[in-house]
Amino acid sequence: MSKDIAAEDRLIFALDVPDADAARALVDELGDAVSFYKIGLELAMREGYFELLDWLIARGKKTFIDVKLFDVPATVAAAVRNLSERGATFCTVHGNQSIMEAAAAEKGDLKVLGVTVLTSLDRGDLDDLGFDCDISELVLSRARRALAAGCDGVISSGLEVPRLRAQVDDRLLVVCPGIRPVENRPADDQKRVVSVEQAFANGADHIVVGRPIRNAPSPRAAAESIVETIRQQFN
């Protein structure tokens, strides 16, 4: 069953730029074409990260804090509590059951998303990490654990979403990075990718798009085109 989410809120733009000034300039350029922004590790390592978060919220934007919290449970719980007090919309946690439970216990109105398997990883990468299992089985296991821990959703490649929808509770929010509206380039570090149409046909709630918008001749036009594609998917 499709959740009641506005088409424009289903697109999350990955604000992966060098500094807060560049982020603000891009947000201004995108205007009302984008309502939901992901701010991740690149910006977190520069000054002005939380000022940028506050600036986005003051402009009525939804915010996704993607720093993949991973630490002892008490530390993660405190970090999530602090984020919830700032008014962020989503945040990611990348850890075991006790870490996810600690995050969920302190989330307030913040929605906590458990990371399943990064879309930059393929079978060979999982072998290097010591995971001797099928990718889709690992995604399913992580999703079930996230829901049991009290998380609101997961980050997952669109490739695994059909199995998530068939075998995990539909309440689970599924956010899909690795979205490529055009053919993936060989130098791209995203390996398990899907198109906008395929992601939502598979059952995604939100998609995260960065470079295909940021590197377009007109980022605003690219964002508007994706939102229109999403709108058509749900009409």
Just list the catalytic residues. Answer: 68
Spatial neighbors of 145 by CB under 8 A, at least 6 apart, are 97, 100, 114
- Cα torsion angle, 206, 212, 215, 220, sign: negative
- Cα torsion angle, 63, 92, 120, 41, sign: positive
Q: Are 219 and 23 in contact (CB under 8 A)?
A: no
Residue 120 is which amino acid?
S
For residue 33 the two structure tokens come to 């074409």
For residue 62 the two structure tokens come to 């939804």
Q: How many whole angstroms separate alpha carbon 173 and alpha carbon 184?
A: 26
- Count Cβ neighbours within 10 Å for each residue of 110-121 and write b for 16 or more, e otherwise: bbbbbbbbbbeb
Q: How many whole angstroms separate alpha carbon 69 and alpha carbon 73?
A: 10
Q: How many whole angstroms separate alpha carbon 129 and alpha carbon 214?
A: 31
